[in-house]
Amino acid sequence: MPRAPRFPVSDHCDGERFFNPPPQPPARSFSSLPRWWLQQLRGDLQRWPRAVPPPRPVRLPAGVAPGEVAVTFIGHSTFLLQFAGLTVLTDPIFARCAGPFGVFGPKRARPPALRLHDLPAIDVVLVSHNHYDHLDLATLHWLARERRPRFVTSLGNQAWLAAREIESVVELDWWQTAEIVPGLRVTGTPAQHFAARTPWDRCRTLWNGLMLHTAHGDVFFGGDSGWGPHFAAIRARLGAPDLALLPIGAYEPRWFMTPVHVNPDESVRAHLALGARRSLGMHFGTFQLTNEGIDQPLVDLATARVVHHVPEADFTTLDFGETRTLRLR
CATH architecture observed for domain 70-327 = 4-Layer Sandwich (3.60)
| Residue boundaries of the structural domains of the chain | 70-327
Please answer whether residues 27 and 194 qualify as being in contact, where contact means their C-beta atoms are separated by less than 8 angstroms: yes
Sign, CA dihedral 144-281-29-110, equals negative
Alpha helices in the chain, H assignment, sequence order: 33-39, 137-146, 157-162, 230-238, 254-257, 264-274, 296-307
Contact 283, 224 (CB under 8 A): yes
Contact criterion met (CB below 8 Å) for 294 and 49: yes
Q: One digit per residue, pLDDT tens: the chain, 329 residues?
A: 667 889 999 999 999 999 999 887 766 666 666 676 666 666 678 889 877 888 889 999 989 999 999 999 999 999 999 999 999 999 999 999 999 988 889 999 999 999 999 999 999 999 999 999 999 999 999 999 999 999 999 999 999 999 999 999 999 999 999 999 999 999 999 999 999 999 899 999 999 999 999 999 999 999 999 999 999 999 999 999 999 999 999 999 998 899 999 999 999 999 999 999 999 999 999 999 999 999 999 999 999 999 999 999 999 999 999 999 999 98
CA distance 128 to 270: 17
Cβ–Cβ under 8 Å, residues 308 and 68: no
Buried b (16+ CB within 10 A) or exposed e, 199-217: eeebbbbbbbbbbbbbebb
